[in-house]
Amino acid sequence: MTLWKPCDKWGGFFTTAKEKYLLWLKNFADDEELVSELSAISGNEKEIEDRFYKGLEFGTAGMRGVIAYGTNRMNVYNIRRATQGLADFINKQGKAERGVAIAYDSRKYSDLFAEEAASVLCANGITVYLYESLRPVPVLSFTVRHLNCISGIVITASHNPKVYNGYKVYWEDGGQLPPERADEVTECIEKLSYTDAKTMDLEEAKEKGLLSMIGKDVDDVYIEKVKSLCVQPELCREMGKDLRIVYSPLNGSGNVPVRRILSEVGFENVTVVPEQENPDPNFTTVGAAPNPENLSAFDLAKALADQVNADVIFATDPDSDRLGCLVKKNDGTYAVLTGNQIGCLLLHYVLSGRKAAGTLPDNGAMVKSIVSTDMAAAIASAFGVTTYNVLTGFKFIAEKIQMFEDTGCNTFLFGFEESYGFLSGTFVRDKDAVIASMLLAETAAFYKKQGMTLYEGLQNLYKTYGYYSEKVTSVQLEGMDGLKKMQELMVNLRKNLPTEIGGKKIAAIRDYKSLIRTESAGISQPLDTTPSDVLYYELEGTGWLCIRPSGTEPKVKVYVNTVSDTAESSAALAEKLLSSAVAMMNACM
């Protein structure tokens, strides 16, 4: 057995970072770009350590990392290795003939990485359906189901900064890999070295019938499905001439499908930010990252909105699974809507519209992540709709949708995460900014017909259901030391469980790692979910606080949720809880 194989599983168990660095230079000596890049960091021990101290981990969200050479970086060798592991798993299941759909966004090397993945799959006898140009994540999710594929791959780093790229894997239900399936694929990957992947020339793959290019034929079916979710088509046609929308795809994959769906349902006044219309892997004008959660990403859109007197401003991230929104207030300024606020506006509109149309089912269900606002549960309850709370990650919402279909216990109506991810309908099994854009435009049109702004519509919801306030912050922890600190922080938080936070007594603590919920009186009960490194503090009366490491970025996130009879008192309590939580975390680091 060679030195290469046993030492380079997931970054190497038997060698140092420096030794792995030298192995890459030796084993990929014919790759001039790799040799040039890695030779340039010779002597930079810190950079070598960061690139090679571990492998780029594969999990339920696939892989994501900085684009560069190294075991802990996104590059063709990690793409090939991961795809070979996926191919081995698919072939072990005897499902090669069902095929794998592949899409990609506008990031650097996304098209190349997509082709590399296709090359490996075809070399392993697996049929591939490769999109001929960039497409959103939700379109890939739909495609997996539409073509009855066994799996799907999207090359994207979602809303991360431009230096990142990623590799998401989907299974036959159209959702991202659940933890158990991800573990099985990971086991196959870990058996491989970085030189084990088989490859095939793509022209040869086409000639052998292993590779098919797809595009408009699938797009057309998807768009028709999205149109079927329009709650009041006549409202869109009536108000679509009056509602003014400014839209930015943030140089990503949403440009064509979002504009198409808005146009086809009747919204005629859509102005696109020209500097952010076309693909740009450098995301030159979007600020720190192409993230609709960041207000800086809206700078150009706000300036344009002032010119055209827009009612709303939409922005989708590069893979078009997240939607951000700014809404005009009566004073002419634009207010930022949080993901929780967008989710509640969409949920209320969908439920009220279906109730008015007589199509609201008796067994309706709404699914949200545990860190999303409880206001959504209050809205759902008012319509007789059951709320299900799941762990963060849209794959868990997808699992609930599948469970509803398999058992018939509930009818899925809406799902969302506070991180700007929303879904209506069941033909997609991931968050979908194309669907969300159509529904939010429709919601804005609904309020405009009543002489109200979308912002005023939100205030009406607060008056009806209570003034909920949600806050989130994060502690950034970079590099090898950062990962260790994240792990130590969560261990220390479990060792030092508080009885109160911010002056509020803790009623119970849910530890999603041990799957135990413990009340203040000491009574414990199991949690029926997948294990996850999350601590959730239920506060006496109302409200909660949650701490969890991010699954896609090197940081620990803190969430709080409060409700009161005034916006001011609710916000003040949320700020107090957040600062107390950060202080508690600092004391544990």
DSSP-derived secondary structure letter, 526: E
Of all residues in the chain, what percent are helix, strand and coil, respectively (each to 5)?
A: 45, 20, 35
Residue 11 in this model has a pLDDT that exceeds 70: no
CA nearest to 404, candidates 421, 381, 422, 429: 429
Residue 12 in this model has a pLDDT that exceeds 50: no
φ and ψ of 306, to 5 deg: -65, -35
DSSP-derived secondary structure letter, 26: H
- Cα–Cα distance for residue pair 531/553, rounded to 1 Å: 19
Query: How sure is the predictor about 14, in pLDDT bands with cuts at 50, 70 and 90?
Result: low
Count of other CB atoms within 10 angstroms of residue 548: 21
CA nearest to 101, candidates 209, 257, 190, 215: 215
Counts of helices then strands in the chain (DSSP H, E): 20, 23
Residue 273 in this model has a pLDDT that exceeds 50: yes
| Location of structure tokens 């340039």 | 40
What architecture is domain 238-465?
A: 3-Layer(aba) Sandwich (3.40)
Strands (E) located in 338-489: 364-369, 386-390, 411-417, 421-423, 467-476
User: Would the CA dihedral through 142, 145, 147, 152 be positive or negative?
Assistant: positive
Query: How sure is the predictor about 332, in pLDDT bands with cuts at 50, 70 and 90?
Result: very high
pLDDT score at 403: 97
Q: Comparing 59-220 with 467-587, is the CATH topology the same?
A: no
Residue 135 in this model has a pLDDT that exceeds 50: yes
Task: Give the three-class secondary structure for 366.
Answer: strand
pLDDT score at 476: 82
What architecture is domain 59-220?
A: 3-Layer(aba) Sandwich (3.40)
CA distances to 67, 70, 353 from 37, in Å: 12, 10, 57
pLDDT score at 481: 75
pLDDT score at 4: 35
Report the share of the chain in percent with pLDDT over 90: 91
Q: Give the mean pLDDT of 512-525.
A: 95
Question: Tens digits of per-residue pLDDT, 530-547?
Answer: 999 999 999 998 899 999
Question: Tens digits of per-residue pLDDT, 563-582?
Answer: 999 999 999 999 999 999 99
Q: Give the mean pLDDT of 44-64.
A: 92
- Cα–Cα distance for residue pair 389/516, rounded to 1 Å: 16
pLDDT score at 475: 84
Query: How sure is the predictor about 458, in pLDDT bands with cuts at 50, 70 and 90?
Result: very high
**CA distance from start to end of the chain:** 43
Q: What is the mean pLDDT of the chain?
A: 94
Q: Give me the residue spans of the domains in the chain.
A: 59-220, 238-465, 467-587
- In sequence order, the β-bridge partners of residue 240 are none
- Cα–Cα distance for residue pair 389/489, rounded to 1 Å: 25
Residue 13 in this model has a pLDDT that exceeds 70: no
Query: How sure is the predictor about 8, in pLDDT bands with cuts at 50, 70 and 90?
Result: very low
- Which of 142-151, 444-453, 507-516, 549-558 is predicted with the least confidence, judged by mean pLDDT? 549-558
Residue 7 in this model has a pLDDT that exceeds 70: no
CA nearest to 64, candidates 56, 53, 76, 55: 56
What size, in residues, is the chain?
589
pLDDT score at 420: 97
- Cα–Cα distance for residue pair 280/282, rounded to 1 Å: 5
Query: How sure is the predictor about 59, in pLDDT bands with cuts at 50, 70 and 90?
Result: confident
Specify whether 158 is catalytic: yes
pLDDT score at 193: 94
CATH code for the part of the protein at 467-587: 3.30.310.50
Report the share of the chain in percent with pLDDT over 70: 97
**Better-predicted residue by pLDDT, 12 or 284:** 284
Q: Give the mean pLDDT of 310-320.
A: 98
- Cα–Cα distance for residue pair 74/85, rounded to 1 Å: 16
- Of the residues 151, 158, 248, 564, only one is catalytic, namely 158
Q: What string of DSSP letters covers 120-133?
A: HHHHTT--EEEESS
